[in-house]
Amino acid sequence: MLKPRSSATPEQAFMKLKHYCGYQERCHSEVKEKLYSLGLCKSDVEQLISRLIEEGYLNEERFAQQFAGGYFRQKKWGVNKIVYALRQKKLSEYTIKKGLKEIDREEYAVVAEKLIRTKWTALKDEQYMNREAKTMTYLQQKGYEPALVQSILKKIRSESTR
């Protein structure tokens, strides 16, 4: 038999959430989900979120910057995939734009070119059209813009015809 889930008091929840937000940057939707999982009512959730923001434990701009920068540097995600993931976390377009400023555009282009060259080389036994299509698909799945991928592929093609 399942025993009823006990709910935490708002003060207990606040202490847990301080640790939860201190361990890693969080967005509002993650914190709300956590608070509801602790059995709190809507008014308590809203009050605790306000308190976490006031005390500096919760900041969506900081979260967006760390998320965008981290996923780009660690997982080599493109802007499109990062934007999609941030929208899934219910961040505003303004906050998403602020987060994307964390990605250096020159470094972004260098990483994209390196990924394209690596994939292009790995597919050297493929027919030319398949090779190009598979490279394009791979980079779009990683979130890179089609125009950027096309321009780098064009550069690679011109290098190989010399």
pLDDT classification of 162: cutoffs 50, 70, 90: low
Distance of CA 144 to the CA centre of its chain: 13
Determine the Cα angle at 19 with ends 18 and 21, to 5°: 65
Helix (H) or strand (E) segment spanning residue 40: none
pLDDT single digits (tens) 6-39: 577 888 888 989 999 888 999 999 999 998 888 8
Distance of CA 158 to the CA centre of its chain: 34
Check: CB of residue 64 under 8 Å from CB of residue 86: yes
pLDDT single digits (tens) 74-89: 999 999 999 999 999 9
